[in-house]
Structures are given as C-alpha cells and as structure tokens.
Structure 1
Amino acid sequence: MGNVSQLFSNNSNQQKDENNIQELACLWISRMDRGLTTLEQQQLVIWCNQNTQHHSSLLEMASYWDDLSLLNELSALFPLEQVKEQSKRNKFTSIALAASITIVSLISVNTLIDESFLPFLPSFNEQTLTQTQILQTQVGEQTSFTLKDGSQIQLNTNSQVEVKYSPKHRLLTLVRGEARFDVAKDKNRPFTVTVGKKSFTALGTIFNVQKNNNQIMELVVTEGKVLITEASTSITDIQETLTQARVSDMPDILAATLVVSGEKAIIAKDSPSVHTTPVEKVSLDQIHRDLAWQQGMLIFEGEPLSVALTEISRYTTSNFEIVDNELANINVAGYFKAGDIDGLLISLESNFGINFRKKADGTILLSAAN
C-alpha cells in the first residue's frame, strides 16, 4: 500500500514540476514577444541549458505563438531546425492551448519588470519581483546612478538613498544628505521619495531634495511638478489620485502641497500639515546657486562666515573652529570648489585677512590677521 501511495505522490510531484516548467516557458515567450534585454537573453539561455525539458517546453510554447519575429528571436538563441521541428510536431494542439497562453500573457504583462525576473524562482509575486538597492556616497564624494527604469540619481556628499522597485511602485527613501532625481516617466508606477515624515511624488520631474538635519528639509523643482504628502499617505491612494484627478485638484484630494518648476519648498520637521508648507517662487540665479553642488561648486553671496563654514564642512572631514568670535559674522561671497579646503583657506587669507592653522587632529583654527 505504501508503494502505491508513493507512486501517486511521485506522479503528482512530477506533474506539478511539469506544470511549473510550462508556466515558466509561457512567461518567457510572453517576455520575448515584447522584446528581451541582453541580460534576459543570457538568463533564458542559462535556464534552457539547465534541463532539456526547459528547452523543449520553450520550443513547444513558441510553436503556439503566431508571430514570425518570435521564431526569429529564438533562432538567434538556438538552432532554427529545433524550432521548426518542434513547431511541426505541436501545431495540431495550438488551438487547445491558445486560451491558456493568452491568460499567462496577460498576467505576465502586469507582473514582470525589466531585469527583475529570475526564471529560477518557483512562484511570482510582488515581493519576489521587488528590487532593493542602497546608493550612497562618502564625505566629499559626488556620484551619479542610473536606475533600471532609466531614472537618474545624483548624490551629493555623505548621502544615502534606499531604492525599492516593484511592478506597481517606485519607492525611494532619502536617509541622509542631498540628491537630485531625474525621473523617467511611467504613469503606471509612481516615483515617490520619502524623507522623514514627508513624501515627494514626481509627475515626470527633475527635482532636488536636501535633508539638512532632522529639523529641516528643502525641495527645489527644476522641471515638472512634485506632490508633497505625508509619508503615511498610501501609495495606492497617491496612484489613484494621479490617474483619476486633475493636477489642480490633487492638493485638495490628498491634503497635499503641489510644487511646480521654478519653486522651492522648505519643510520643517514639526510642520503640522503639508497644507502649511511654505512654497516660494525662486529666480533662475537662485536655483543655480542652490544646486551649484551638481557642478561640484559652492556659491556664497554674502552669507556669514559661520554659515558658509557649516556648508563647507559637509564636504570634508576637517573641522573648523573660529578663534576670534568677530569673524563669525564676516560676509563671504565667491565661488568655491566643493572639497577644495586648501583653496578655500588661501582665499580667506588673501581676500578676508583670516589666518589659519591646522592642528594635529585635523581641526582648522581661524583667526583674524594682526
């Protein structure tokens, strides 16, 4: 009796494995129909080489797909004779499987995302397909990154961004520092950056977010529109609002603040509501000054020395100490290369009469010239 039970169990497992392979083959065919990337082509070849049943199942599914371009793509990966022979053997059953192939195709369109699909996984869900990565820079470092969807992120000094991409959402968290986001348009997947208790959702946008500390955040929009909401706002609610409402109605529907190109918003940590977020129109010169770091520069236009040194300190591990208190209020103006501390010190000495001395621990003492 046990042998018979074991036999049924083995047959059941075998049938389950065959069904899984067939489903995977259908998913690959659906993906080929919309076009494979180079990485996907490599993954497909690896999967087929793992097991001859993988290969034969793929060719079988291809034979039911009435598309010459699909066969051409297969012939580029595998010998054409195999594709043709498998097509002849299975052509008579194409009608029977047409409905199931169509269903799998529709499902795959909604669940697959670029380069996140791994054919070795037994099941497919949003958690499985979520891409997570951490982007960061060290003190004094500025680096650009290109994400899977073509969006670009430029990180300023000592910054960190966590990225989570899924088939439905593009979620990012600015953990610290400053970042410029150039967002690739995708109406089906909102691009949302969370900073502290606020979220910024892009509407086909280029924008800059700076987390100065735990108290203040700064948003500058240079292209498009950005919707500021509470971080607790459901991404689903944001997505539904973006697809159903007019842009002018969004702030009222979501209790949000809309910031458009050429505007700047400063968000305090204890701001009671996004409705109270102050938004100001800024000149092109002001935007260039605020975002000069993207060209590796710092621009000061009369800020007190103490304020300028706070900004400069973000780009170096050196600490500044003003020995003579009256120097703290000296107004500083000029262009400085971010991280060029020696150039800064020479400029302070020649233009402002400020002497400097470096201590063994890296602290730079600033004092008035005699």
Structure 2
Amino acid sequence: MAESGNRNGQSLTAARAARWVARMGSDQRTPGDQAALDAWLAQDETHRRAYAEQQQLWDAVGTLAGDPAARAALQEGALQGSHEDEARLPQRRRFIGYGLAAAAAACLAVVIGAPMLGERTESYATAPGEQRSVTLADGSVVTLDTDSAIEARLTDGERRLTLISGQAFFEVAKDAARPFRVFAGRNEVRALGTAFSVRQEGTETRIFLAQGKVTVRKPGLPVVQMEPGEQARLTPAAAVAVGKVDPERAQAWRFGRLMFDATPLATAVAEINRYGARKVVLADPALGRMKISGVFHTRQPEAFAETVAAIFPVRLSHSGADTIILSPAG
C-alpha cells in the first residue's frame, strides 16, 4: 500500500528513503541492494520523490561522514550552537541548519550501524557440552558446537553472521541475491548455497568446506577460493594455508564423536575437555607428547581416559567427582 495521504506515512517514506540513500552510499552495499531499491522505487511516485530529496540532502552534507568532529556531533544529534564545535568545522559546512543536521545524523546512523528495513538479528549460544541446531529465517541451518556463540543478522541485501566463539557448521540456503557472509575475527567466509564449518580458537580461525564453494577473505591478502574437502587455517601473521583433510574427521563433532589420528595426547585431552564438566588432567606434561589414535564419544571422558590407561603406561585416578587424572605408571 502506498505510503501517502498522511503525515506519518510521509515521515515513514522519508525515513526509508534516507536509509536507502545511506545504504547505497556505503561500502556495505551488495548487488541485491540495487534490485531491492529499484523495486521499492517502482512501488509509488512518493518513494521516488522522497529518494530524490534525501539524495540531495546527502549530497549537501558532503563529506561530513568522514569528519571526526562532525560525525561525533551528528551521532549525538548535536551541531546545535557549540562555538567550539563550529570552530572545528570548515566555514563552508556551517550553513547546515538544525533540521538538516538532524536528517544528516539519521543518515549517518545507517552507515554507522543502524539496521536496514526487514532486518532480523538473532543471537544463539550453547553451554559447555551442549550442541544445538537452529534454522534461520532464510532457511539456512546452523549447528553450534559446544560452548559456542553466533550472531545472525539477515537483511534484504545480505545474510551476515558473526562467530563470536567456538565452532559452527553452516548449511546455506540458496539465495543468489543475498550473499551469506560469516565473520570470525577480521576474517570472512562468503558463500551462496553450500555447507561449511568455521572454528574460532584464540587468534586462529579454521574453515572446513563440506560441499559447494566458498571464498575466504583475510584483510590485506588475496581472496582464496576453497574446494570441498579442504581446510583453511588463518593466523594473524601468516598467509591463508589451505590443504586437504579427512572429511569424516573434520565433521565428526557434529555426530558427537572425536577422531584422532596420531594426535598428541595433550591436544586430544584439550578437545575432550571442551565437551563436559568432567575434565581430564595430565599430571605430567611429558605425557602430552604421546600420540593417540581412535574414535571417542564427546561426552564420555571416562571412557577416553580408560582407553589411554589401557594402551599407555599411564595410571588413572580421580580428584573429586569432576577431575580425572592421568599420571605416569609406577
């Protein structure tokens, strides 16, 4: 229904037009944004008129978005008579009236981070030992590993997810108009319809591609395209390292299993400990250098410890109800 005929409708149309102008003038726009804007403009003459007016306003504001002093003032809804602030602004910008400043502040808010219309933002998390699958509004499915958290923000132009901690597997619904972007730290994985996992551990990011294709973006480096069965490892001071891995091993956690193949015991213990309240402790760090192979249940640390004690010269003991100790035998 056309947004005209009353003051509220006109205000809503102007607000939407301002958001579109700011979006199309930012570096966050996507190919899908142009198509969505064209569709909105085609709905009604008032949309086209409001967009033209807001575009003129945006042009008048000029480079205020890049001026730190003006940007801070606009974010506070200011530019209202502080002589000190006026002194910091070039003379040619002082003509902006209070109404224009308020409108500019609204536009800047979009660039700085206000959500687009139709946006859905959700947060999901798991506790230690918990795994959870969630279906997003676009039909994509995200499986969170133990002690993991993501934020999902879906807009008309893109699907942006942030892995805050832990590990997640993404089964992406096809939508060519809305790129599916996953951020882990400063790194980005981008896909259309595919399935992949991302793990964030400290400053290291690991990406495994199960099917389809994704591109990996690390600031300052060329874009890397991955093939199914490959894992990418990203660390702060190195190029993106990509290599083939065992798909079953890379995805075993999704089915409540951990697969080790000549894995240092210290690494295996750290993985087991991610999944439950009961922790395995190595009494002697030297034990951590022993190599272990096998398939273990993520929620059965006792069974893991018993296997280690059975195949290595290691003694198993307990400290309270929540700690399993592995010590050198004898």
TM-score, normalising length from structure 1?
Answer: 0.57
Letter paired with 1:369 = A
State the distance in 1 between where 2:187 and 2:42 align: 42
- For 1:315 and 1:306, the matched residues in 2 are separated by 15
- Residue 305 of structure 1, CA deviation: 1.1
Aligned residue in 1 for 2:155: 166
Q: Is 1:310 aligned to 2:270, yes or no?
A: yes
**Distance across 2 between alignment mates of 1:317 and 1:18:** 55
Corresponding residue for 2:35?
A: none
Runs of 4+ aligned structure 1 residues displaced above 4 Å come to 17-21
One of 290, 310, 324 as aligned partner of 2:250: 290
Which structure has the larger Rg? 1
| Post-superposition CA distance 1:141-197 (Å, at most 9, x none) | 111111111101011111001100111111000011011111011111110000011
- Counterpart-to-counterpart distance in 1, 2:210 and 2:9: 53
Change (3 A) 1:199 1:231: farther
Identity, in percent, stands at 30
* AA of the residue aligned to 2:229: G
1:217 aligns with 2:205: yes
Deviation at 1:104, TM superposition (A): 4.5
C-alpha distance 179-101 of structure 1, shift in aligned 2 (>3 A): closer
Does 160-169 or 337-346 show the bigger shift?
A: 337-346
1:249-260 to 2 correspondences below 5 Å: 255-260=222-227
- Deviation of residue 269 (structure 1)? 2.1
Q: Work out the CA distance in 2 between the residues paired with 1:146 and 1:104.
A: 35
Matching of residue 357 in structure 1 with residue 324 in structure 2? no
Alignment size in residue pairs: 234
Structure 1 residues 328 and 101 mapped into 2: Cα distance closer, same or farther (>3 Å)?
A: closer
1:276-287 matched pairs, under 5 angstroms? 276-282=239-245, 286-287=246-247
1:348 match: secondary structure:
helix
Consecutive unaligned residues in structure 1, runs of 5 or more: 1-12, 24-99, 108-124, 233-253
Q: 1:356: Cα distance to partner? A: 2.1
SS in 1 for 2:274: helix
Q: Return the TM-score normalized by structure 2.
A: 0.64
Match of 1:334 among 283, 287, 294: 294
Q: Distance in 2 between matches of 1:140 and 1:155?
A: 11
Q: Which structure has the highest helix share of the two?
A: 1
Contact 1:156 1:294 in 2 (8 A): yes
On the 8 A contact 1:194/1:231 being kept in 2, the answer is no
- Bigger drift between 258-267 and 153-162 goes to 258-267
Letter in 2 for 1:221: L
Contact conserved, 1:297 with 1:338, CA < 8 A, in 2?
A: yes
Q: Provide the secondary structure at the position in 2 that maps to 1:315.
A: coil
Residue 309 of structure 1 aligns to a residue in which SS?
helix
Secondary structure at 1:148 match in 2: coil
2:43 corresponding residue in structure 1: 103
What is the root-mean-square deviation of aligned Cα atoms in Å? 2.9
